[in-house]
Structure 1
Amino acid sequence: MKKFCLVLFSFLSINFSTVLSQDLAFDQAVQRYRTRVQKDPKNLEMHQKMIDYAAKTNQIKVPLNVYRKAHEKQPKNPIVIYVLAYTYLADDQESKAFPLFQQCVTTNSSIWQAHLQLARYFQNHYKYEQAIVHYEKVRDLHPKSTACHFEMGQIYRRLGVLDAAENAFLQAIDYDKSLAQAYYELGQIYALQKMADQAIEQYRKGKKLDPNNPIVRYQLAHIFLDNDDGRNAILALRSGMSADTQYAQVVNRLKNVSSLQASSILRQILKAKPNSAHLQYFAGKLCNKIGEIEQSIFHLQKAKSLDPTNANVRFLLGQLYEEQAETQKAVSEFEESVALGNVQLELLLKLAETYQRQNNQEEFIKIADQILAINADQPEIHYQLSQFYDYQFQQKKREGLIEKSENLSKKAVEHADRAVKLAPDVAKYNLKLGALYDRQGMLKSIRFYEKAIQLDPQNAEPYYRRGLFMSNFTFGSAKVLLYEPELVMEDLTRAVQLDPNSAGAHHALGVVFDRMGNVQQAMSEFNKAAELDPTDSRPHLYLGEKYANSGQFQLAISSFAKVIKVDPSNVEALKDYAFLCLSHDQDRLWRRAKKALELAIKIRPNDAEILMNYAYTLYLNGELQRAVEYYQRSLEIRPNWEKTYYNLALVYERTGQKVLALQAYEKTVDIAPNSRQGKKALEKINKLKGIN
């Protein structure tokens, strides 16, 4: 610590002549600070006061310079780290302060002031769980910190954990009985719990300490009004107006009046004196309570214009817009309310539902994370997240991103499992978890399908999913089917009986018939599935493969085109479509093949087959140099592929590069002399060399 003192005394070496000429008082403060540092260099409160004074007198650059130099010399000293972080904070450089506060608690976890600053950072960014972790650390290290207890109470109140909030405010009052705001906050807690007498008692205590504060009394009036306690709401409103110089003279007009009368009188008062956001907000809420919706919206809009930062005004305004079927306006107000720090679950859940309805997955994920950070016991949110991650899994799998897809699959299972544990008697949650386990080939999927059937016996989906799973499940090295075909068909038949228009049931039947070798019946079922759900690419994919295998190439091309229309990211369909177009209808369809392969390359840029076929379309289009480039890229990935060498040789031959053409043809023969390309390459070699 002696060395640290010397570092701090570098402050003394700074030339203060400029500072002295500008602010003598600041120079004197510096001298006092120097004296105190020598006696107590660990005193963070003393450092903070000096930094605060420097900021107040626009001299923050002076301590910032000193502490930067100190940090350069002692980068691991927690005191130096803390004071530099605090100085950055005083200079409104939060982004630089935050990582230093984190470094400080990592270096020395007993510096409670750093935990307090981190707690405030997380609170300001609405990350309440993380804030509470650091507030609890402060409480353990410095239990008499009034600020810690008070600020924890504010977080718990926002989160609706009223018992914890009450305890925190009581602790704050124990350590500082002159803290008026703590009494007000405690009064609000009691008001929220509909304990009007206790609420009023706490407000009276606060009023003695802070007699001229109308705002907190207006806040109490709102809470009473939310609890349908009109009498106490108007009393609290009158109390606020009596301390508000703008309205003190008219407060008696609200004496002994009903809610309906109060609404009329408030409108008259606000017509003459409209510039109070608090009264406009109260008037808006009161009008809403008595069913005067247009007047309510009018006052809330006024309140919003006077105080655009009031999140609660935005929320109520959004609710009224929603009731008026003005959806876009409602969503806009809800979003603004959240952005301003409103974390009411009702609001967040409403936004989550809206984003789901709009298919706005990016915003849904953000809001869902916020909801679960506040209250993780939300089964529907977990279910929707499971749906989202499952969809993302399928996308990434098609793109060939195996590791990413596996992580997404794991998340999907975790959220579905959580939904089932929170609400075990909801059929769709069990069905979802069963389907996810089914995809992993896990026998326990049957249990969740059975539960879904038990909970919703008229739903065809769990029957056909269970039937399809049973038709696939094998055990042992011999891959013996565990379930009898009769059981499988019983489930699938039941599914079709329950819902003859279930595309999924017909698809499942198609799969089973195909496995039994009944291709004709399978194709019939897949055709039904495709008719019933044109947005499902799977039946078209199956039909395309079967048509191609049976030599019905135009039908195959048509089926794969339907897959691509429904799912343009399906790489295998893009590849098969392009291949068939080039192989069986090149003159008419090669341009379509080229477009399909361009899409495929964007999704899977390192697929040798895609690159080779795309190079061939470039060759057909006369883009010979680009064709060479793509053939070479294909060979980098699959170096010994005779087809690519043969096609590359064709390009070289066409461009008159005889030596390169011969080399590529010879390579084709070396790799696969008995293949179709090998035999044709040998003919080409003989022709180029002039051999008959």
Structure 2
Amino acid sequence: MSRIQVTWVVKTKTGQVKGPYSTEAILRMIGEGVFSGQEMISKLPDGQWTLISKETAFYDKLLEALEGVVEVDPKKAHKMEAETVIMRPPPSPSRNTQNTNTEAKPKLPSFENLGSSQPQNGKFPAIDLYQAPAQVAPATIPIPNVSSNESKDSVIELSNLKNMEKGEMLSAMRGPIVILLVVALVGFFLLWDTGPAKGDKIHLLAPGKASAPLSETQVRDKLNESLFAIEQDTFDSYLEAQNKLVTIVEGSPTNIEVRALLCMVYRELWPYAKQDAQDVRTIAMVTQATRALNVVSPLGQVCESVKLLTSGRYREARGTVEGILESTEPFSLLPVLYGYKAELLEGEKDLVNAVPYYEKAIQLWDKWLHPQVQLANLYYEQQKFSDASRILQDVLKRNPKHREAKLLLGVVEYRGFKKSDTAFTLLSAAVDSKVRVPPLSEAQGLHALAEIYVFRNEKKKALEFAQRAFSLNPNNNDLRQLVVRLGGSDKVKNDKSQNNELLFLGDQYVRQGDFLAAQAEFKAAFEMDPKSGTAAMKAAKCLWQLNQSFEAIEWLGKAMRAEPKLVSAYVLQADYMSQRYDFAGAMAALTNATRIAPNNYEVLRGLALMEFRKNNMGGAVNYATRAVKVYDGDIETFILLSKANGVLAQSIMPLNKKEIERKENAAKDAVRYATKAVEIDATNPEAQITYAKTLAATNGVDSGITYLNELIKRFSYTLDYRVALAEVYKSEDRYTQARDIYEKVVEVDPRNKKAWLGLGESSKAIGLNDKALKAFLQAAVLDPTDGEALFQAGKLYFETGRFEEAIQQFRRVQRLNPNYPRTNYYIGKAAFSSGDLNGAMEATKAEKRLNPNLADSYILAAEIFTTRRQYQECAGEYSQAMKLRPQGAEIYVKAAQCYRQSGSLDVAEDMLALAAARESGYADIYREQGAIYETKGDARSAATAYNKYIGLSPNAPDRAEIEARIGRLGN
């Protein structure tokens, strides 16, 4: 079979596009030293640009050339040129790529003697200025080596064919010249622009397997070039930095500082990325590998912050960032975290407090333009136009190609200073640029330019730019009105290229807590690009926050169908399903995820969480332990391990040495894992709450309460710690104190469902049934799809003797969620208490079918059989209940009673022995023991047992009856 010929085009560092070349031609030129490996390469006709060193076809040859294996023969370079078609004119002599820049190269930022990380009166304490890296020119293409006896003229420039003899050129290219010229023209139009085409989304570049080790000099040089690119703060420069940093990571895998810098670059490229399963996996993989090097390093926490920010978990991201900033130890990427803190505050519309954090970031790394542009935008929003203009002019002096700064400066000149001519010049130049910028920034500039055209009475141009701006920001009512006024349509076309803009807008709304608006943006993004699983998953998260659980689960299904390898969607759907007690559905989702990623820590953690909610603590610990072995930096797994071990410790009955040891080990593990979680991230609310509750369980409740009070002082902006404190009080039956806290929480946050439920439970415990019912119903209004509040209301009706109303509430819960546990059990209890034994038994059978491992339904069935005097059936039900979970002395006494009345006296005595082993002071043991002896005819032993019963329970309601029995026995 004939082989298809692959052709390539090459883009040099100066932007020249050359080719097309065959694979063999490029290999020969690499061998001659013509290409250094830093050029970009693309397949024709529709390939994407990538570093030539990243193409597997050329990697080995480049490595040989770098190691000096290949001998250089300049004569062959002439032959290489015979295959070349120039696709772009060479640069002018004034921009000769052979010029070198002798300026000092930058070093990775480092800082000393940093002040407090918290602003005081809107300002930070003064500190030593950061010595920012000096700028360096980008690396040039190396000149091929020549022997000393050859003249300078023998060096061949790839961009120059004029010196070649016509005869040689025609003989070499007579046949394919027409085809090559056509391909060249196609390549010219396809690949003229640098980087991806405008609007095209990129994939984040993940490091591959470790390559040949880089020397310290190579690492330093590439790192310097990366830092310079980052400082320029443009899409293209971040793309360049990403490529270089990935190369360093592959050549120096243990360099945690470079890995953290790569995570930071991912964050800047995220708005332009496809944000699909592959990009999510790239960030997760780099984060996991970075934290595995040092789980408590702040550099690893930088990657964790990026992972949280890009996944829309802004609340957790803020906690992580603040935790690092509170550290007294300075480190190189501290200015990046100050920038993140400022962005988070800005997203929450806290502009005043965001300013000093941007100022701190600029102070620590004054060559990095990103925080300067962000601060200028903040000043513009605060109408501090002079400050904004000053910063933006300085940015453009440092990087005249910074399109975002140029757009914003034009807006400031127009709206702030009313200089329409100056603004027009700036905005026109910015609009003509092909540099990618965030959609809202571009929309803002286009909006101002459209208004200027209106002022100039050029309505056609005004409409063109207004519509472009509106397509980027369709939620801007001013833009909508401008488009309509100019005769345009306010209907946004479904264009896949706008998908990222809608995702960006949705993320903005999430930051502000407006989940209703956010889910609309994410849904619109998915409609434009039905293959965007990320958009569907983000919509699902917002819907869950809006208590629309059915729709949330449905949208996760759409996410999985759109991107079958989006593991996070499977895990999240399982999480939501298990919260609704749909364990079969959760297991199906996790099984599918396991097929995609067999040993993924997120999937293993999802399995552990499902087992935890099923009350299978052993299974939860098993899966979570496996997850930790895969990735020991996942804080959520450690939290789950602590919780599961804590519940396990409480459930173990220490009847023998082995059980005592198991209980002690589980308690120690609960403390150990909670401590580990706090060590990883001391600002994670759930980690801190778990640790506090573990303290309360092991060191006494007051230690836990003291710890939570300290957290409340430190993190006053979150209500989680107050709710946790109320839960600790409630667990210790200190209901009045718990109720006071819950009341304050719902006063501040009336939509806090957890606080309303806690308020209802606390009010019920102290006899305020009307207020408890009101709290439960308020919680039900907040989340009409969740049955918990109605279930609690039903229990309140049952406990106050309103059995019919209780049954109605439990039926309502079943209509909302047929999988909700214990509803049939409580229907059975209510029916049993009202005398409806048949209805009670039917409900008990239904509960057994739904939850066969729930011991309570078997106990209720035993009570029903006792009432019916079916003692043998009663004994069987109690035996089954005891198999399902460890029981106290009471159930063994009741089982003994059924065995005695069914004639199995020996088994009854065994039951009492088990009861005494658990609680020897339980009085009812001896009353039943007396009845057994009395049945056997042992009057003396019966009287002794009855007397012990009265001694242990002198105020027993049946004392008179027992004393009469003793009298009849003659003792």
Normalising TM by the smaller chain, what interval?
Answer: 0.3 to 0.5
| TM-score for the superposition, normalised by structure 1 | 0.47
**Higher RCO (Cα < 8 Å, 6 or more apart):** 2
Query: Hey, which of these two has a bigger chunk of helix by percent?
Result: 1
| TM-score for the superposition, normalised by structure 2 | 0.36
